[in-house]
Chains A and B, each alone.
Chain A
């Protein structure tokens, strides 16, 4: 297995418009380390490359190639693909890993077409055996586990955010800068960037170990404060059903389910959520599921390890004070 350690695996690391390394860096490099030597590619705005490269080393990159170009903040995707193609030519990796974000999917799609490689998407794990690289997927809302492989060439793999637990040891990487030569292909323009308002101190939904979600039964945006209160007592992330999002109780980024975020926490608490199949698709792989719902027939009880038939507005306040007393 000594060979394995030297096989380079190319990892595209995301950079925010303000220059920070995306938090997905740790899991991408962790997944890469499982199948070879993690080599990071960073395409950043002017003045941000070196810091991001150092941060990538701390997250496990053995080698970092970075390019800086002002265009990353004004042109959509193009520089990322061009830069990744350049790095791919230099490194000749055995696989290319990209985060399964909106931006990552765009890069992966274009990169795979341009380099004529096959794609494996939404991976929750990756391994290598004598036959090559095997990509693990969780499909149909966690109902099935599927393994895929490519017939030949270099697999281009998008990794589900929060989907991989592997982490690489911090490294002292060799850092090289390279020039990002644009192909000048037509691309969309980024006209403006609006930063989100003050980020909450709560854990994010993706990869959270505990999640408390509210549904239509919560009734209003105001009353959603109760869901958040319970989440804060538990140190949990806050989620929601699609109806809660559509009703404007919380932003769309909170949505758990088939067309929202897929979570797999140790503990999932569903408040006033009926348990529609599309909601279950985003949470049924949780370790323990707790549900509070006033309808004894609610579907959510079919998969709940602990179900309470009751009014969330009486049960949750009591739960919060009982937990506070135990902590106290």
Chain B
């Protein structure tokens, strides 16, 4: 089986993330760049399947800046077979349409039976890329899965819906996306880290994929960005036996109850 895992490099959420107020783009210097945790989970799903199915090839794919190879190595150290990186200046600030086009073309190039993505990225918070890819590739999607079973010919899993849970199944090839209900990603061991250094990462640009970033199609653009003033701390009391009472008074005085 050929599995393509979609991973994204994002600003580390453990730091204060910043937007550049002129360009509206992520301030690259403000934070460490890391693999999105949900992408690590997606990699874990693929790698643990590969462990019990030796004929599996796992390619980790990303569309992102020149810093990507460093973060992609982590997925390789977890056990992915190889990496694929779409790198092009024209992708800076790319909207979802262009990102999906680049991913879809790259996936066609790699070849696939199953594509595994995260449900939502921590920087884009879009959650639409998996369905966009399914539409472009003409295959089924099963997104936001809280559980996932992979067989040679199909996938099955559960997801939340309004008023309950649904169980889904789809024949391969298909695109799935997983939620953080899936198991935590493994920490790459020393052996994995050494092995990752020898694994290949293919790098292509948009021209290689036959994509024109300036094509005459509708794009989504940022037109304004502003920073919200940071919150500051208010009153802080130490409980000496009456804090519950004082808090009740505060809530009443401020008409919060």
Contacts and interface: CB of A to CB of B under 8 A. Distances in A.
22 contacts: A20-B163, A77-B131, A102-B160, A109-B131, A113-B97, A122-B126, A140-B123, A143-B17, A145-B226, A148-B220, A148-B222, A149-B220, A193-B165, A194-B164, A196-B165, A285-B228, A296-B236, A309-B237, A310-B238, A311-B239, A318-B243, A323-B248
A140 to B, nearest CB: 5
A151 B221 contact: yes
B54 interface: no
Nearest to A242: B180
Interface stretch (A33-41, A170-178, A297-305): A297-305
Interface of B: 13-19, 24, 38, 95-97, 100, 119-120, 122-132, 134-136, 138-144, 146, 156, 159-171, 174, 179-181, 217-228, 231-239, 242-252, 254, 256-257
Main secondary structure of the interface of B (DSSP, over half): mixed
Nearest to B139: A186
Contacts of B180: 242, 259
Interface string A199-234: 000000000001000000000000000000000001
Contacts, number: 290
B231 to A, nearest CB: 4
B145 to A, nearest CB: 10
Contacts of B236: 296, 301, 304, 306-309
The binding surface of chain A is classed by DSSP as mixed
A218 B121 CA distance: 29
A258 interface: yes
A305 B251 CA distance: 11
A189 B160 CA distance: 15
B201 to A, nearest CB: 27
A311 B13 CA distance: 29
A114 interface: yes
Contacts of A155: 220
A290 B135 CA distance: 45
Interface string A239-258: 00010000000001100001
Of B128, B168, B246, most buried by chain A (CB within 10 Å of CB) is B128
A268 to B, nearest CB: 10
B144 A102 contact: yes
Contact of B248 (A149, A189, A307, A319): A319
A102 B224 CA distance: 28
